[in-house]
Amino acid sequence: MKPSISHFTLFLFFIFIFPVAVLSIGVNYGTVGNNLPPHSQVAQFLKSKTIITHVKIFDTNPEIIKAFANTNISLTITVPNGDIPSLTNPRNAIRWVNTNIKPYHPATNLHYICVGTEVLHWGPQNLIDNLVPAMKVLHAALVRTKVDGVKVSSPHSLGILLESNPPSNASFRPGWDVGNIAPMLQFLRKTKAGFMVNPYTYFGYSPKYADFCLFKPNGGLFDKATGKRYTNQFDQLMDAVYVSMKKLGYPDVEIIVAETGWPSGGDPQNTHANPANAAAYNGGLLKKVNSGVGTPLMPGRKFETYIFSLFNENLKGPSLDEKNFGLFRPDFTEVYNIGILRGPQEKPTGSSSKPAVPAAAPVQGKKWCVPKPDATGAALQSNIDYVCSNGIDCRPIQAGGACFEPNNVRAHAAFVMNSFYQANGRNDYNCDFAHTGVISSTDPSNGSCKYRS
């Protein structure tokens, strides 16, 4: 039957009054640079020029929080890892809310409080033990001080997974699963908050699976147990998280992508860090999360997603990769075009006319994981404690062992960090260690102390 004029008129009414939703995306706004624009300019740029609707920062900088007032952009702030134990005290938590939330909300649309960053993966143990209690006490402080609409969560690296391929075989690491993640998921379910994860396909890159990592056409990977085929690694990692949550009894808790991205430039050996690949990944991600398609095991689900990061940050490092994750340069020009800017745009092509860090010839050979030059002794000792409690043979750094000399924390940390990196798949994220590790192409072996490669 043909539609009547009235039906057609009603159709047009809905088209113009309720148009198809505009694409939106969240972004991580890091500030480790000495050439970045003022916070007020950043907030107004995002509001007026981009489709970015959610912003996440890594601290509680009051100037940033004030800059986003009355922009209608939702802002997620972060409790520094070191402050976690103090927030298990209710008085401290109320004081924290009165200082960092109440003066700004709701003029600034504060959305989430992240309690720490990747605490479970990198520790130390006292932070791990206090993480969920601090989340609960902080939530109670929000309720007591009558702050509405602000939720509490905590982002995790995917090092919390024991296995991710195939997704059907995924699970959280023993110990963390029941001891930390299950009570966290119970809290998130009760408070209707999301479980935050940081799935970086960049750190799982290999030339063989380049298209799989970059949302490009490929044959995919087949999971026999579920009969599902995966054509991109993002879906694989998200379903691995979902399966792990389901095994603990919490498949209904929302999943939030707190960080993911791809650098447009990097160290000479990382030739896959380039503008074309960054555009392919982040452009594919943008289409993916706004499509509403979901994943093979979570059809129809959309994920609140934050790209890392807003700007190239010139003081990050020491690797060039870390300096080049930005969508924009400090002068607000795009590093590459994926349709983030509002208004008529040229068709996304991959890169702008200004080059990022030029790629050099790849360095062939083996790779090792070593401490960054600026890593503190306390952080390196924490790395040693973590590695040696997770199944890595640390006897070589004990008295009488082949790698006991030189007897200092940096040398011992270098050996065990590399052992962990080599034993867990030699992915770049296995050498992150809360940003204290770096990949090296120089063999650090010394005399009888031989490093695995």
Residues 52, 182 within the same domain:
yes
Give the span between the Cα atoms of 186 and 320, in whole angstroms: 40
- For a pLDDT cut of 90, what percent of the chain falls above it? 69
Cα dihedral 13, 15, 21, 23 sign: negative
For residue 195, the model assigns a pLDDT of 98
* pLDDT (tens digit per residue) in 39-87: 999 999 999 999 999 999 999 999 999 999 999 999 999 999 999 999 9
For residue 292, the model assigns a pLDDT of 87
Mean pLDDT (the chain, rounded) = 88
For residue 56, the model assigns a pLDDT of 98
Convert 362-396 to b/e letters by CB count within 10 Å (16 or more is b).
eeeeebbbbbbeebeeebbebbbbbbbeeebebeb
Provide the β-strand partners of residue 171. 163
Provide the β-strand partners of residue 113. 77, 152
For residue 344, the model assigns a pLDDT of 55
**Polymer length in residues for the chain:** 453
Find, among 250, 275, 276, 277, the residue nearest to 264 by Cα. 275
For residue 381, the model assigns a pLDDT of 87
For residue 390, the model assigns a pLDDT of 76
* pLDDT (tens digit per residue) in 426-441: 877 788 887 788 888 8
CATH number at residue 46: 3.20.20.80
- Residue 108 forms part of a structural domain: no
- Residue 380 forms part of a structural domain: yes
- Residue 104 forms part of a structural domain: no
Q: How do the residues of the chain divide into helix, strand and coil, expressed in percent and rounded to 5?
A: 40, 15, 45
Question: Which member of 63, 163, 259, 313 is catalytic?
Answer: 259
Q: Is the pLDDT of residue 394 over 80?
A: yes
- Residue 145 forms part of a structural domain: no
Q: What are phi and psi of 198, to 5 degrees?
A: -120, 80
For residue 101, the model assigns a pLDDT of 97
Residues 172, 301 within the same domain:
yes
Residues 238, 376 within the same domain:
no
Give the span between the Cα atoms of 326 and 82, in whole angstroms: 27
Residues 48, 162 within the same domain:
yes
H/E segment holding residue 90: helix 90-100
Q: Where do we find the tokens 């969508």?
A: 327
Residues 177, 259 within the same domain:
yes
pLDDT band for 306, please (50, 70, 90 cuts).
Answer: very high
Number of domains in the chain: 2
Give the span between the Cα atoms of 69 and 296, in whole angstroms: 38
How far, in Å, are 105, 168, 240 from residue 297 at the CA level?
A: 37, 10, 9
For residue 442, the model assigns a pLDDT of 85
Least confidently predicted of 148-157, 160-169, 430-439: 430-439
For residue 73, the model assigns a pLDDT of 97
For residue 365, the model assigns a pLDDT of 66
Residues 253, 189 within the same domain:
yes
Residues 391, 305 within the same domain:
no
How far, in Å, are 40, 151, 174, 344, 346 from residue 49 at the CA level?
A: 14, 28, 46, 11, 15
Residues 307, 427 within the same domain:
no
Residues 296, 194 within the same domain:
yes
- Could you list the residue range(s) of the whole structural domain that residue 394 is in? 368-440
Of 265, 294, 323, the residue that ends a domain is: 323
Of 292, 323, 354, the residue that ends a domain is: 323
Q: Is the pLDDT of residue 103 over 60?
A: yes
118 is catalytic: yes
- Residue 435 forms part of a structural domain: yes
- Residue 214 forms part of a structural domain: yes
Reported pTM? 0.74
Residues 309, 389 within the same domain:
no
DSSP readout, 395-435? GGGSTTSTT--S-SHHHHHHHHHHHHHHHTT--GGGG-TTT
Of 291, 323, 355, the residue that ends a domain is: 323
pLDDT band for 13, please (50, 70, 90 cuts).
Answer: very low
- E strands of 141-265, at which residues? 151-153, 155-157, 161-163, 171-172, 195-198, 221-223, 228-230, 255-260
Question: Which member of 118, 313, 322, 334 is catalytic?
Answer: 118
**What average pLDDT does the segment 399-425 reach?**
90
Residues 208, 278 within the same domain:
yes
pLDDT band for 18, please (50, 70, 90 cuts).
Answer: very low
More confident residue, 360 or 303: 303
Q: Is the pLDDT of residue 10 over 90?
A: no
Least confidently predicted of 7-21, 198-212, 410-424: 7-21
- Residue 44 forms part of a structural domain: yes
For residue 361, the model assigns a pLDDT of 32
More confident residue, 9 or 411: 411
Find, among 99, 178, 94, 171, the residue nearest to 132 by Cα. 178
- Residue 298 forms part of a structural domain: yes
Provide the β-strand partners of residue 75. 55, 110
For residue 127, the model assigns a pLDDT of 93
63 is catalytic: no
Residues 275, 403 within the same domain:
no
More confident residue, 347 or 175: 175
- Which residues have CB under 8 Å from 446's CB, separation 6+? none
**What average pLDDT does the segment 282-295 reach?**
93
pLDDT band for 9, please (50, 70, 90 cuts).
Answer: very low
* pLDDT (tens digit per residue) in 184-227: 999 999 999 999 999 999 998 989 999 999 999 998 999 999 99
* pLDDT (tens digit per residue) in 227-280: 999 999 999 999 999 999 999 999 999 999 999 999 999 988 899 999 999 999
